[in-house]
Structure 1
Amino acid sequence: MLHREDVSAALGRFERIPADRPDLKSAAVAVTLVEDAAGTAFLLTRRAATLRGHAGQWALPGGRADEGETPGETARRELFEELGLGLGPDAELGLLDDYATRSGYVITPVVLWAGAADDLVPNPAEVGELHRVPVSTIDIEPRFLTIPESDDPVIQLPLFGRFVHAPTGAVLYQFREVVLRGRTTRVAHLEQPVFAWR
């Protein structure tokens, strides 16, 4: 079982690197930790098939920041809009490194503690599937592929018998490294697959 205090302490020791990319739009995602009978889990969605961008892809709840929002405010607002889960600022445990996407965003991952989170109501306009994924599931080595379109490796994180790519795969990999392994591992250089560049 992963405890709130352990996650908070690990993030407190971690010196995050923000991305200095004023040319990109600001966004945030929520790494939302929940308490399950089987232990601590995180919330992972599959984007609705009807969405214009990145339909059907695995994603952490999140989206573009509104004017004047902090990353924590953006992540908590998006979590509420997508899953009906309202959390206050006291749920924020810390931030991971920014990740600049090929589609024009700088994503700030915000780690949140949601407790039992029993009353989740996925918004069908945005969420096709919702999963409570045991944190232990991502304590596994990812694959790194080379592609002709980039000098940087593409990350593939094994999950559900398939692979989760960056940015979600990169964020979850860094969470594993920082929180579960106590290692400062950077992921901003990890590449997205070509299908996610749009």
Structure 2
Amino acid sequence: MICDDLLREQIRKRLAGFTRLAAAPGEQRAAAVAVAVTQTGHGADLPGMPMFDAWQCDPALILTRRAGSLRHHAGQWALPGGRVDDAESAQAAALRELDEEVGLRLAPPDILGLLDDYVTRSGFVITPVVVWAGAARGIAPNPGEVASLHRISVSEFEREDSPRLDPGELPGQPVLRMPVGNSWIAAPTAAVLYQFREVCLAGRATRVAHFDQPAFAWR
């Protein structure tokens, strides 16, 4: 798979043909995350994953480790994102947070589409906004929000041992994890990554709202 115009149009068309499920209005706070498709670049410093010596054309996603000083989900794996401000769309919020967290400034034409809303245990409704980031050279973590910045090849999310499902508190609601390197990423981020893989790469209309989060991600 190559990070090129063909992949961009494939993702755009599959999202256009995907019937997205929005969460019902409630007490939850609106949030948005950017699922930013980029080039592999210099890789990610994850155990068991190789480092790249030069810019690669393999597709990757931009992920972060949240700063330890943050009120919500400190130190956890995340996609760039945050609260949707008053009178702001989820798309606008995702682009704003991408700029604020990693210094990547994109425009509305770079938006490829939306995935399903995901309601978190901590009281947020997350809208995933898929965007095309190209090479995304020069990105850097905002130290006030991001402890580390990673480009993770999409091939990591297509592994045979992915996803991993553990028993949850309720029947039919297993806890979802996505392995990366020798570690793993938990839902809610893992749920978004899994649906991106299924819808945008495999062309399968897979739902993820029923997957639960591990207890540490509820905070």
TM-score interval (norm. to shorter)? over 0.9
Alignment size in residue pairs: 197
Distance in 2 (alpha carbons) for counterparts of 1:195 and 1:150 = 17
Ranges in structure 1 where 5+ consecutive residues have no aligned partner: none
> What residue number does 1:23 align with?
27
8 Å CA contact retained: 1:34, 1:40: yes
Q: Deviation string for 1:34-82 (max 9, x for gaps)?
A: 1341411110101112222211110000000000111110000000110
Selected match of 2:193 from 172, 175, 179: 172
What are the equivalent positions in structure 2 for 1:146-165 lying under 5 Å apart? 146-147=167-168, 149-151=169-171, 152-165=173-186
1:21 match: secondary structure = coil
8 Å CA contact retained: 2:140, 2:149: no
Distance in 1 (alpha carbons) for counterparts of 2:181 and 2:121 = 25
TM-score, reference length from structure 1: 0.96
Selected match of 2:118 from 87, 99, 104: 99
8 Å CA contact retained: 1:28, 1:62: yes
8 Å CA contact retained: 2:156, 2:181: no
* Identical amino acids, percent of aligned pairs: 54
1:62 aligns with 2:66: no
8 Å CA contact retained: 1:21, 1:106: no
| Aligned residues: CA RMSD | 1.1
Distance in 2 (alpha carbons) for counterparts of 1:61 and 1:7 = 19
Distance in 2 (alpha carbons) for counterparts of 1:97 and 1:16 = 5
Ranges in structure 2 where 5+ consecutive residues have no aligned partner: 41-55
2:125 match: secondary structure = strand
- Distance apart, 1:121 and its partner CA: 2.1
8 Å CA contact retained: 2:62, 2:79: yes
- Distance apart, 1:114 and its partner CA: 1.0
2:70 match: secondary structure = coil
Q: Deviation string for 1:89-148 (max 9, x for gaps)?
A: 00100000000001011000000001111011210011111111111111122111103x
Selected match of 1:84 from 87, 92, 103: 103
Q: Which runs of 4+ in 1 moved over 4 A?
A: none
| Higher percent of residues as strand | 1
